[in-house]
Amino acid sequence: MAGGPAERLRQVRLRIERAAQAAGRDAAEVRLLAVSKTFGAEAVAAMARCGQAEFGENYVQEGVAKIAALRQQWPALCWHFIGPLQSNKTREVAAGFDWVHSVDRLSVAQRLSAQRPPPGEGGLPGPLQLCLQVNVSGEASKSGVHPEQLPELAREVARLPGLRLRGLMGIPAPETDPAAQRAPFARLRELRDQLVARQGLALDTLSMGMSADLEAAVLEGATIVRVGSALFGERARRAPP
């Protein structure tokens, strides 16, 4: 991978800016989440020195260890949990992360809400910011709530006191054709818009788009793009599907 962290960050920000411009959007509406899974605390610190403040992790143990290793020197970093979340790992996510993007079951949301430390404790600022993961690729994915079950899940999750429901997250099946990339992102945006219109939920977040398809996601309204390999290089091991 060409260039150091500063150059890679510059390139990714440029891609976001160009896509935002093409969509008639302000690039400042799109937050860049640097997905640091499989890369060590040193790689995160190097990105933080370049001005990157938001990081995404997929594996609870790995993420919690990195947060602990960096807390002293980088207390203002914002940590997002974006990986599959089992019930027996919710406590560590509720106590260590600022955001979670990958909730697709009420039982997990209830645990996160109950286990979120009260404001002030552990230095955490209030409720856990949450996105519901939606299955926008049908058979291709087993994660994510089915769109038909989304309204009821959103209604229940929005009531939980330890959480703040911010929006939706999607991981569509990989596509190379730009139009095919855009379709599931458009679907996710429509689902968000319906929740806002029909249930009055204040959802300001669409977490969608990765290294290979961030332009398509920005064109369809992404407010957070989750970028790993374009920032950190290829991963040694593949993330589980």
- Contact call for residues 154 and 132 (beta carbons, < 8 A): yes
Structure token pair of residue 153: 């899940």
Alpha-carbon distance 147 to 157, whole Å?
A: 15
Based on CB atoms, which residue is closest to ligand PLP, 37 or 66? 37
With CB under 6 A as the contact rule, the residue among 58, 135, 137, 223 that binds ligand PLP is 58
Write the binding mask 157 to 186 for ligand PLP: x where contact by CB under 6 A, - elsewhere: --------------x---------------
228 binds ligand PLP (CB under 6 A): yes
Characterise 57 by phi-psi region: left (phi > 0), alpha (psi -120 to 50), beta (else): beta
With CB under 6 A as the contact rule, the residue among 35, 48, 112, 158 that binds ligand PLP is 35
- Contact call for residues 143 and 107 (beta carbons, < 8 A): no
Candidates 7-15, 105-113, 193-201, 224-232: pick the segment binding ligand PLP (CB under 6 A). Answer: 224-232
Residue with tokens 């945006």: 189
With CB under 6 A as the contact rule, the residue among 82, 109, 158, 208 that binds ligand PLP is 82
Q: What ranges make up the beta strands (E) of the chain? A: 31-35, 54-57, 78-81, 99-103, 128-133, 163-169, 205-207, 224-227
Write the binding mask 88 to 127 for ligand PLP: x where contact by CB under 6 A, - elsewhere: ----------------------------------------
Applying CB under 6 A, the residues found at the interface with ligand PLP are: 35, 37, 58, 82-83, 171, 210-212, 226-230, 239
